[in-house]
Amino acid sequence: MSAALENPQREAILRRINYSVGDRLPESGPLTWDDYGLLAQGLAMAARPLHLATRTVTERYSLGPRGAWLLNLINAGIVFPHELAEVFGIGRSLISSELSRLAEAGLIESRPGATDRRRTELALTELGNREMLAIRAGIEKNLAEALADYSAEEIRLCARMLGTLREKVSI
């Protein structure tokens, strides 16, 4: 799943900027724009392997842009629509639209809440669980291939750093 194989023209354009993928940056010394630029470019462009892994399910069920991610969040225990809206930083009407598509596709179901019967609680259907596992397998495959040159420790460090970035930069 090499980006160079995917679109050589795109990669040639990105290489024209001084912090493009493939440049060897110094391994020590103070950080410069070249370092931060490469990091920013990586953050901006790194979603491609994730979108590739979710595309099949998204297209098969005509889901919105967050549909596949909602499956994973619901599986992780974020089961109330208002919490999902909060996670994505969008209005409840947009989440309702996404959830309607998932329900129509037979991927999720809703039921009265366990502690408050007035609240709707979401759950994956058997089909939703299978599709969520397929998405995870695709993501794992794409990331493992793309990061094959890095050790498990380096990948975990990167994951922690991205988590820190998410936590410390608020919108």
User: Looking at 47-51, 62-66, 103-107, 156-160, which range is the least confident one?
Assistant: 47-51
pLDDT category of residue 48 using cuts at 50, 70 and 90: confident
- Separation between Cα atoms, residue 46 and residue 127, nearest integer Å: 28
Q: Give per-residue pLDDT as tens, 54-77.
A: 999 999 999 988 999 999 999 999
Q: What is the mean pLDDT of the chain?
A: 86
Per-residue tokens: 29: 């010394």
Q: What is the pLDDT of residues 87-121, one digit of tens each?
A: 999 999 999 999 999 999 999 999 887 777 778 89
Among 108, 70, 63, 100, which Cα is nearest to 87's? 70
Domain 48-171 has CATH 1.10.10.10: yes
Q: Report the distance separating Cα 30 and Cα 16, nearest Å.
A: 23
Q: Please identify which residue in the block is written with the tokens 């980006």.
A: 3
Q: What is the CA radius of gyration of the chain?
A: 19
Q: DSSP 3-state assignment of 123?
A: strand
Report the DSSP beta bridge partners of residue 108. 124
Contact 48, 3 (CB under 8 A): yes
Beta-bridged to residue 111, according to DSSP, are 121
- Which residues, 6 or more positions from 17, have their beta carbon under 8 angstroms from its beta carbon? 37, 41
> What pLDDT score does 161 carry?
93
**pTM tops 0.95:** no
Domain residue ranges of the chain, discontinuous segments joined by +: 1-45, 48-171
Q: Give residue 155's pLDDT.
A: 94
Q: Which residue has the higher pLDDT, 60 or 166?
A: 60
End-to-end CA separation in angstroms for the chain: 32
On the question of pLDDT at 28 being above 70, the answer is yes
Q: What is the 3-state secondary structure (H, E, C) of 109-170?
A: EEEECCCCCCCEEEEECHHHHHHHHHHHHHHHHHHHHHCCCCCHHHHHHHHHHHHHHHHHCC
How many angstroms separate the CA atoms of 79 and 105, rounded?
18
Tell me which of 129 and 27 has the higher pLDDT.
129
